[in-house]
Chain A
Amino acid sequence: MGVLLLCTIHPIFSQELSQENSSPAKESSFGMAIGLRVSSFGPGGEIIAAVTPKIHLRLGGSYFSFAYQQTSDALNITGDNTLTLGSVSLIANWQFLKSLYLSAGAIYNMNKNNLVGYSTESFKIGAITVSPEQIGELSYTIKSGMPVAPYIGLGIGRTISANGVVSFAIEGGIVYQGSPKVELTATGMLSPTASDEQRQLLEHNVASMTIYPMVAAQLSFRIF
């Protein structure tokens, strides 16, 4: 759940980062571009449609998964931690200046962190050998409280070039995800760990994590 502990990053844009090449100017105000982006939801891509010169619609998606292990001395429990970042976004840009735009939209938030704890070794209590199967498994998942979350952001640069082919943008914003939800399940000897009381405690601990920061860098190519 480390990513959910991240605080919002507030980029301060102090310089013009937009770059447009000198490709032939486009006559029509309507256009489309495809973009490659890296964001706090992971790497992904976008399709950008310039509806008017200042209004651009963006449909995008991103995904990233990272697994690592943790261990606990208690009952030799090993934890397989899987951090998943991902989103499907539908965002509208208002390009109110040549290289500055405001974004708003909705994001289907697929971020979650899942920890599966299990014992890898048997241990003995008197004459009883307790197997890993008897010890059981504990699964702890934390995810967005709102699957579809509102988003607002400010970008520098352009997600679709005004009159060229290539454009570049850096964007920062916030996703209101609501209080995260915790799912807690357990089997075997660990079953009582998954009590409703424990789940509520864990949700309380993360209840203030209602904002998820969006930081993105994007390279787009206008296709017409």
Chain B
Amino acid sequence: MKTNKITIYSVLAVFMLTAVFTGLSCKKLTNATDGAKLIIDYNLIKTTIDVSLYDAKTGELIGREGDKNVRITVTGSDKGGIIDATGMQPANQQYSTQRGMLGLAIVPDNQYAPTAMRPVAFNVVASLDGYLATSQHVSISAPGKNFVRINMVDIENPPAGVTVGKQDGVGNVVGGSVQETVTVSTPGSKAALTLPAGVVLRDADGNPLEGSLNVLMAHFDNTVDEAMAAFPGGAMSNVTRADGTNSDGMFFSAGFVSIEIRDAAGRQAKTIENGTLELVSVVSPLTYNPEAQRNILAGDAVPVWSFDEATGMWSEEDGTTIVSIGGNLQMTAQLAHLSYFNFDWFWTEYCTYGAEFHFELDNPVCDCFPMYGVMKRQSDNAIIKYVYFWVCGSDPVYTFYAPANLPVYIEWDASYSPAITIDPGSQPTYIENLCSSTPVTVILHANIDPQTTTVTADISAYCASQPDVIIRPSFSVWFHKEGDWNWRYASMTNGYAEICGVEIGATYYVFIYYNGSYYYEPFVVTQASYEYINYELPADVCSDVFGL
């Protein structure tokens, strides 16, 4: 019995001790989720289009000092899928840039998911007082970063190869009818326009022009790089053929003329009745005829195209034939409406999936970097387009909708990536066929400036309305060093960014576009690592940008 009692007491003692310790552990218990946050990655936008607008003569971003705004209208079949970089879509797809840049993006919606089989296509139409309106056709076949460069012609300061003629107070128009035949021409008679007596000029709304006319005419020499770089719509374009179908392809230009006629009241002539205007354009004998595979000769037929400034599309008109007058080659077009006119052969051979590019670096660099270049035809050295690749590590970069069976070369410009130099063997890079399965290899050298370092930034923010929700932002910024107008591009993903080649102690100007406004602020880099943890965001940013 005594043994049994000892046993009972021992067992009870064990349980009491256990109870005490268990009770203590109970007191330590806290809410299992204390301190935990809902962390949200706002990297919703997977495809961005950074548009840069340059003066074709100076090569500077238009309004880089903040003094000019370029009006941008997005047109085309997929315009509904285009938003600005912060997710806003202004009415009528009309944007206004400053400092020559605009951040666009494709709305993250399955309807506008870019694929090679179903690219997202649209036009960026740019206009600015004092400049010729222009546009760029954009076709995006895969998610990622895209860069579009548009060169605009300053009427008062055109680039080489562009001749601008501006004549005010020309002729006399009554009720839209030209009273006497008038001929205006560009300096050097590169292009001449004749308005026969009796033709009627009306604006886009059908109103007749009245009084004297102000005529603005520009001729683009297709054999001059600077002129071709300002080619409206770009040499690679989507066009409307004579049969009404749309087609992708590339122009072989024989020249381009823009015409703008206004009356004293500012009405711009768009339609022509009771006759046609006659446009004569001089063509360089160095122009390459891709159909004959030789330089142009008298008797060659050339299609004529007109440009719709509103949509940024080229439409095929009747063709013309080259004639030789006084030893000069020229072509004549009868115009039934007023626009930009282009004398071009259209190259329709292209491939959906182009060659892949490999950028091989001798030493790794941090983060991704842009590779800019200008692609030219080997046949006539004409500029086809600017190319922009976003290079990340050793990942190949793919091309889409490339012209096929067309030898080209790319002249690289590494000035936007100071840590990169191009190997002489790859400058330029010759490519016999952009549609070949053979990869294109470009050798690069990492050129790390010992004065610079890699700066990292780590941002997590919250909104007062939802303090338990942590925001890890994703966005892109442009920046440049004070006194250096070479803009660079940096992106933050999920709250983290690495930016190479930054000088500690230097002042940089950071530029970001948000909700229709631009913010351009100086920033002195004082350290190699920045952490903005638990940063409280302004209420308007929370509601507009993050939906909180």
A residues within 8 Å of B by Cβ? 1, 4-5, 7-8, 10, 72-75, 77, 96-97, 100, 102, 123-130, 134, 138, 142, 152, 154, 174, 189-193, 195, 198, 201-202, 205-206, 208-211, 213
Determine if B19 and A125 form an interchain contact, defined as CB atoms under 8 angstroms apart: no
Provide the B103-135 mask, 1 if CB < 8 A to any CB of A, else 0. Answer: 000011100000000000000000000000000
Q: Which residues of A contact B88 (CB under 8 A)?
A: 126-127
- Contacting A at CB under 8 A, from B13-34, are 14-15, 18-19, 21-23, 25-26, 28-34
Closest CB-CB distance, A68 to chain B, in whole Å?
A: 16
Residue contact A10 to B8, C-beta cutoff 8 Å:
no
- Of the candidates B14, B21, B35, the one whose C-beta lies within 8 Å of that of A201 is B35
Q: A8-B26, A74-B469 are in contact. Are A202 and B36 (CB under 8 A)?
A: yes
Q: A8-B19, A128-B108 are in contact. Are A1 and B32 (CB under 8 A)?
A: yes
A-B contact pairs, 10 of them (CB 8 A): A72-B38, A74-B469, A129-B109, A154-B12, A190-B38, A190-B40, A198-B39, A201-B36, A205-B33, A209-B29
- Across-interface contacts of A124 in B (CB, < 8 A): 547
Q: Does residue B508 face the partner (Cβ distance < 8 Å to A)?
A: no
State the B residues within 8 Å of A (CB): 4, 7-8, 11-12, 14-15, 18-19, 21-23, 25-26, 28-45, 83, 86-89, 107-109, 466, 468-470, 472, 494-495, 515, 544-548
Contact A198 B32 (CB under 8 A): no
**Chain B contacts for A198, CB-based, 8 A:** 36-37, 39
Of chain B, the residue at the smallest CB distance from A73 is: B466
Contacts A96-B7, A142-B32, A208-B25 hold; do A193 and B38 have CB atoms under 8 A apart?
Answer: yes
Chain B CB within 10 A, most for which of A189, A201, A202, A210 = A189
Residues of B within 8 A of A202 (CB): 32-33, 36
Which secondary structure characterizes the binding site on chain A?
mixed
Please give me the residue from chain B that is nearest to A102 by CB atom.
Answer: B11
Question: How distant is the Cα of A4 from the Cα of B26 in the complex, in angstroms?
Answer: 10
- Report the bound CA distance from A190 to B29 in whole Å: 27
How long is the Cα–Cα vector from A124 to B83 in the complex, in angstroms? 13
Distance between Cα atoms of A102 and B11 in the complex (Å) = 8
Say yes or no: B35 contacts A205, CB within 8 Å: yes
By Cβ-Cβ distance, the 7 closest A-B pairs, closest first, are: A126-B87, A127-B89, A7-B26, A8-B22, A192-B39, A208-B28, A126-B88
- Contact in complex: B108, A205 (CB < 8 Å): no
B39 near A4 with CB under 8 A, answer no
Q: Are A5 and B469 in contact (CB under 8 A)?
A: no
Known contacts A74-B38, A128-B45; 16 additional CB pairs below 8 A are A4-B32, A7-B29, A126-B544, A127-B107, A128-B44, A128-B87, A130-B547, A174-B18, A174-B22, A189-B41, A189-B43, A190-B39, A192-B40, A193-B38, A198-B39, A202-B33
Interfacial chain A residues near B494, Cβ < 8 Å:
192
**Which B residues touch A193, using CB under 8 A?**
37-40
| C-alpha spacing A74/B547, complex, angstroms | 10
Contacts A125-B546, A127-B107, A128-B108 given: A75-B40 contact, CB under 8 Å?
Answer: yes
